[in-house]
Amino acid sequence: MFKGLKVGITGGTGSLGQALTKRLLAEEVREVLIISRDEYKQRIQMALNRGKRVKYSVCDVRDGGGLAYVTRGLDILIHAAALKHIPTGEEQPFETVKTNVLGTMNVIQASTKNRIKKCILISTDKGSHPINLYGATKLIGEKLFIASNVDNKTKYSCVRYGNVIGSRGSIIETILIK
């Protein structure tokens, strides 16, 4: 399905981004572009993926111009970047909105501008009847993606998942520690 394609992942240094990278490499993609604002985590991943078809770009989804620049030439863009820790979102709501809503709008604009064929939003079960800011921002992101399918060459899709074993900040991690 992905063979020969160039795929980008925002938030690519996160738990899910790393798992997606491994999977995409197994699917024989032409190239995986990791887009992340975390230069340190990129350095760690570079060591693990040395010699593989993985490239890295330091870019924050909050930077629309930078995002449009680094996503040129992609076939598919997977948007996994988010501020996902619920207490942080409640304590710093402006930061959460800037990343999860404005960052998502930047992803849509970059995808449209660069005529990326498919753009996929990684959302969460917290977006269904949200009870906190994180869930609300992910629901807004889903609505923005769905609305972007009107009169657009890029196809926008959303997927939701629950807690992922091994991801940072997961409730499963909290339960296992206790």
Catalytic residues: 126
Residue 138: burial class (beta carbons within 10 Å; 0-12, 13-18, 19+)? buried
Cross-strand bridge partners of residue 157: 120
User: What are 5's two structure tokens?
Assistant: 């394609």
